[in-house]
Structure 1
């Protein structure tokens, strides 16, 4: 054994010497990882584009998007002008929650390809100046992960404490609500060891026990594995729930109405984030994003206050959880949310700005008007909002085309575990299934997950096979191929907005202030940096309306509008978006 070890060491030294000689003698330019060369706060000025890989582009005809499909569209992604891609989970998974139930954090799901495909994707992105942000899903794992398989074998298994268990002889565990479970109980009884395990989400997504330092170290090793491959950061899924109060206090009966208050403020949450920063993030120049950030601006600031050394960007939900459509909650209330957050974050910390993602319906269907008359106009107006606000824009794939909700009529068409489980629960209780389907036409996550619309060929050019989820029938008129040729399309307007954002840093760091804040129809604000001043006016309605800016605009110049001819200053046409420099 000693001789073998000495021999192996000698071989390693020889190979290292050869490698050093090759490096010094080669005239080939060495590629430096982007996470070394980038400025430390590159994520502030980045435009992040989210790709839902299952629905983006299928390369092999199995009806499921994959890594090779994304590789084939890298030039399209570069043409958008975006700086980074947030890629939803591609790890090995039984796919109960479309990849958010991970059974192996270091391998690629076969549906998506291989690690070699991933390496080619990362290389292709970096060659085009695009960074890669991956999902870090470590509030829970899959119940098919080896850790959980071991954990449930016996009560004295070394992995037992990797999860939260409650022995049945102690009685029924204190009730906890589950986001996805049919029976809405987050404790699942397991006969093998006569115990219950905790799952805030699906019963196939047992919650990891972050109170166990071994779990934390396992996660840090996983993070280093991907960061050392050269990725540029993580979006941390559901991490605000990672810390649990393991005294399991009895909670109010209706606590799920304010679940973030009880689930998102664990006693050691920020201790874990500070430890994570010390052990991992501080050693790399990468982006770190917290999905969910408490229930108030003050909560969110705790995640990203630079003095606390935790994360970079807070991704709060208040602006999307407010209701199902802009008409339900009103524009004034919506503006108040952004004003509160901006007042908290104006001097330090950093926010994400977004209107849609894989857990939301389509942007234009929720905050705009997806009718034939107004879909394109309101889509452009909403894109203007995302790309002129203060913070890092997160933009969901397909929204640059104005993709809309598909509005399935039958539960059989839905794939989402949340929708299907809630339907089953309602069916068991004798609830109104027709009303439920009508609601899901507006709110289901599957609305945002239909295949990307590339052209007007079969299945929108997404796949030559049967797509895993139906394609929206409007693909014949809403697709990349048609919009690339139309200078007035949603796609080309989106590109203009990104170019504008990059021409000046005012939309990244300039001061933000509401204008005519009580106007029920118009969301207007200024962006100011020294002598540089911009006014953004957005009509969120299908009627012509007016605004009292209180600003002298006699010498104002039009920068961009979603109409070929804008109205008289102060008057706005339906869903008009106008940017003025004054």
Structure 2
């Protein structure tokens, strides 16, 4: 029997931008609780909340100063407990974002570590002597550009930070640090959390000897500084798998099918290792291929087939169209194809994750220079790497500030918020929101879509078609990835959903049309 995280769908909430309850322009936990009924009506099974822990917000919560509390901007531990109870009462699971690779430089652990070389917590972080020339220990580059090493004049060593200097990396080779972080998982599991998305899991262990990373022969400046070298020695080290396996043992020790989802940007063959080879690791290593894919039928068919074939025995697939770090699907492929993409996401075999706002077709929002918040954009301006455009407030209705806040939103709303909002689309059966609701309803109604087998039927021209089957139930999904009509012979049966509404023409997919079809038994 399938678990909830296999048959269900996950919805990512970026808490700063979902709903503000106190007028400070920043979303919070009470705001999320107030909007839970939207998630119920949408038809998702779980919400994953991006970091809510105390933080100086140098990287908007991914610089954690206390792993076992809630930042006052978002509320209190009591507010979280109330949100958790309200979600569970509605049949919704709640996942938190675990940030184990690095803490904030304001974390008490780092302050102790930085105090002296002989401090008991010195080895909880990664410290190295300078190179012979006095410079950084090696050529490793921060993902936000520049050297990944920061000089500390007080103790005469460099500390390592894969991201901002305000985000020093934890040393997972230290047993005491490792035990302390495992206790963080237990703290939240004990409160009733249903699982975690584990941030940058593949970064967590570094090569013990810290050799230089090799140069990237394909590097171009517009790619951003982090791509100047290949992260051969600073990520994806063999020792990380034992850590992931220990996290899995902790999760499996709780009832209720707790789930671990790993953020891992790696090629498919290396991604598969995080399911676990020696022992079970994360339940779902995030599969980001659709985020990065060329929107072409043959290319998509090939990557879907490669992914399915690569899965280890018992490994459950998953798919993602967007998240808080990458351009929104509506901006990547256009609004009409974003509907086709939604149908693809919600009918492929595996667990789908929906990024907040995609269900109403939100696009990237241009951020004026004086409103930029993202440290990545501030450090490497002009390269288009900033993440603010995909983190803008959720438009709920056409009232002032789109019903998101009674104050000034922390980021600007999109220009079409007065018409592109949840209330406007909620009563429109032709809307993007109606399409998402329909598709999620079909996943719950038809086992073939939720847990059925997958078989590719066609990838010719602009048409991508596949079959989902469970027992005697057979569903065909046909997607036209182009704007022009394409021939496709649908089997005898009933149309369950179309991205364009109405009844498809016999033997033809209209431009930008996707169809879910229930085939009659042979």
What's the TM-score once normalised by structure 2's chain length?
Answer: 0.92
- TM superposition shift of 1:347: 4.5
The correspondence for 1:522, drawn from 459, 463, 480, is: 463
Which residue of the partner structure matches residue 344 of structure 1? 310
* Partners of 1:294 and 1:316 within 8 A in 2: no
Residue number in structure 1 paired with 2:351: 392
Distance 1:282 1:307 in 2: 18
Residue-by-residue CA offset, 1:329-383 (whole Å, 9 max, x unaligned): x4422332221001122842022211001111212111x21xxxxx2x4332221
Return closer, same or farther for 1:508/1:163 CA change in 2, 3 Å cut-off: same
Correspondent of 2:287 among 316, 336, 339: 316
**2:331 alignment partner in structure 1:** 365
CA shift in 2, pair 1:520/1:446, >3 Å: farther
Aligned mates of 1:306, 1:250 — CA distance in 2:
28
Map of 2:424 onto structure 1 = 482
Partners of 1:497 and 1:279 lie apart in 2 by 34
CA distance in 1, matches of 2:103, 2:319: 28
Taking the aligned partners of 1:535 and 1:40, their CA distance within structure 2 comes to 22
Alpha-carbon separation, structure 1, partners of 2:288 and 2:232: 13
Contact 1:305 1:348 in 2 (8 A): no
Distance in 2, Cα, partners of 1:461 & 1:309:
44
Q: CA offset at residue 258 of structure 1?
A: 7.6
Instruction: Report the number of matched residues.
Output: 507
1:139-196 deviations in Å (ceiling 9; x for gaps)? 1111111111111111111111011111237543111011114xx2111111111111
Residues 570/250 of structure 1: CA separation in 2 closer, same or farther (3 Å cut) = farther
Q: Which moved more, 1:279-288 or 1:378-387?
A: 279-288
- Over 3 Å counting, the alpha-carbon distance change for 1:422 and 1:115 in structure 2 is same
CA displacement 1:277-333 (0-9 Å, x = unmatched): 33454344301111116322x3222222487221211103343234xxx46xx4422
Equivalent of 2:441, from 477, 499, 504?
A: 499
Q: Which runs of 5+ in 2 are unaligned?
A: 218-226
Q: Is the 2:215–2:228 Cα contact (8 Å) retained in structure 1?
A: no
Q: Residue in 2 aligned with 1:192?
A: 154
Partner of residue 140, structure 2: 176
Separation in structure 2 between the aligned mates of residue 228 and residue 416 of structure 1, nearest angstrom = 33
Note closer, same or farther for the CA distance 1:557–1:262 as it changes in structure 2 (3 Å cut): farther
Structure whose alpha-carbon radius of gyration is higher: 1
> Could you tell me which residue of structure 2 aligns to residue 3 of structure 1?
none
| CA distance 1:192–1:405, shift in 2 (3 Å) | same
Question: Does the 8 Å contact 1:361/1:444 carry over to 2?
Answer: no
From the superposition, tell whether residues 138 and 528 of structure 1 become closer, same or farther in structure 2 (CA, over 3 Å): same
| Residue in structure 1 matched with residue 60 of structure 2 by the alignment | 98
Find 2:479's aligned residue among 538, 541, 553.
538
For the structure 1 residues 570 and 415, does the alpha-carbon distance in structure 2 shift closer, same or farther, using more than 3 Å as the test? Answer: farther
In proportion to residue count, which structure has more helix?
1
Counterpart secondary structure, 2:417: helix
Give the whole-Å Cα distance in 1 for the aligned partners of 2:70 and 2:42: 27
SS of corresponding position for 2:166: coil
With 499-508 and 60-69 compared, the bigger mean Cα shift is at 499-508
CA contact (8 A) 1:515 1:526 kept: yes
Superposed, 1:81-92 pairs within 5 Å as 81-92=43-54
Q: Does 1:380 align with 2:339?
A: yes
Distance 1:133 1:339, change over 3 A: same
Matches within 5 A, 1:212-291: 212-254=174-216, 256=227, 259=230, 261-284=232-255, 285-291=257-263
How far apart in 2 are the matches of 1:87 and 1:321?
23
Residue range with higher mean Cα deviation, 244-253 or 120-129: 244-253
Give, in whole Å, the separation in 2 of the partners of 1:260 and 1:168. 20
How many Å apart are 1:494 and its aligned residue? Answer: 1.0
Residue 56 of structure 1: how far off its partner (Å): 0.4
- Separation in 2, partners of 1:414, 1:570: 49
Q: Deviations over 1:46-80 (max 9, x none)?
A: 11011011000111110000111111112222111
More deviation in 188-197 or 531-540? 531-540
SS at match of 1:91: coil
Q: Is the 8 A contact 1:314 1:350 kept in 2?
A: no
Q: List per-residue Cα deviations over 1:18-65 (Å, max 9, x = no partner).
A: xxxxxxxxxxxxxxxxxxxxx883210111011011000111110000
- CA contact 1:261–1:294 (8 Å) conserved in 2: no
SS in 1 for 2:68: strand
